[in-house]
Structure 1
């Protein structure tokens, strides 16, 4: 399938909204980016960095992503995107800022890739399937952060 410029813009917007809604903790809106029968496959770090746990449907996706609510601040940065018809390959850096036991802020960073399958639903592009694979994890100290 050849994508039009409008399709590519729509897919890019879909990917960006996923990151935005994750950072805003708007999990119902994030789950709404999936088709009704959409699938999200997540790793189980640190034991597994490959896609390992499957969640189907918007309610399961919300439940799977609810641990985000326990992270004070995140920043999901899309660093690359390639769309091949109804599939996409998205590179992302996900920062998870938390407070260490000594009270100092720390950044747990996932360098990851999404393997996506898209489908038009209700007149818009949606995720039919999204698989997250972590390439590597690092931790960095943070000098200062904005919380709240």
Structure 2
């Protein structure tokens, strides 16, 4: 026998909410990696805030960008790299079905070529605030913090400017 809902008890996230939130997080990572900045910004509410670090000097959320068009412009910073790959390695969501929070762990690879290929690897986390708007979850706030940075030397890449002999 199921217990009746208690008055005043907050509604929890459903399995469907959690799937939708995980999809939102994955779509953001894919859009950034694909350089689809307008598509990434469209995943935010109109008045959303994106707080990003300014590495290597500042690893916590230092630069704040408000609104979709400003967020799209801020995401263009990845164009400094030939290729990026954001791998989501953990996610935890809490909420009430209308608002939610998330803690997202990610390993972000940033491939560049100076005199030789370099992979800057950021071990990072997002502290997210979400809002359900017009039947869909959106980022209302996203704060990015970098826990540590590694530098690696890749052996090969599909980046066209690199030769197969590198």
Q: Distance in 1 between matches of 2:134 and 2:155?
A: 45
Q: Distance in 2 between matches of 1:93 and 1:70?
A: 18
Equivalent position of 1:56 in the other structure: 66
Equivalent position of 1:140 in the other structure: 152
- The two structures have a TM-score, normalised by structure 2, of 0.86
Question: Residues 80-99 of structure 1 correspond to what in structure 2 (within 5 A)?
Answer: 80-85=90-95, 86-99=100-113
Equivalent position of 2:44 in the other structure: 34
Residue 106 of structure 1: CA displacement? 1.1
Q: Distance in 2 between matches of 1:28 and 1:71?
A: 18
Post-superposition, which runs of at least 4 consecutive aligned residues in structure 1 deviate over 2 A? none
Residue 37 of structure 1: CA displacement? 0.5
- Bigger strand fraction: 1
Cα RMSD, aligned residues only: 0.9
Matched residue of 2:20: which SS?
helix
Q: Distance in 2 between matches of 1:60 and 1:80?
A: 27
Matched residue of 1:131: which SS?
strand
Equivalent position of 1:78 in the other structure: 88
Equivalent position of 1:129 in the other structure: 141
- The two structures have a TM-score, normalised by structure 1, of 0.96
Q: Distance in 2 between matches of 1:27 and 1:58?
A: 10
Q: Distance in 1 between matches of 2:81 and 2:133?
A: 31
**Which structure has the bigger radius of gyration?**
2
Give the aligned length. 146
Q: Distance in 1 between matches of 2:54 and 2:106?
A: 17
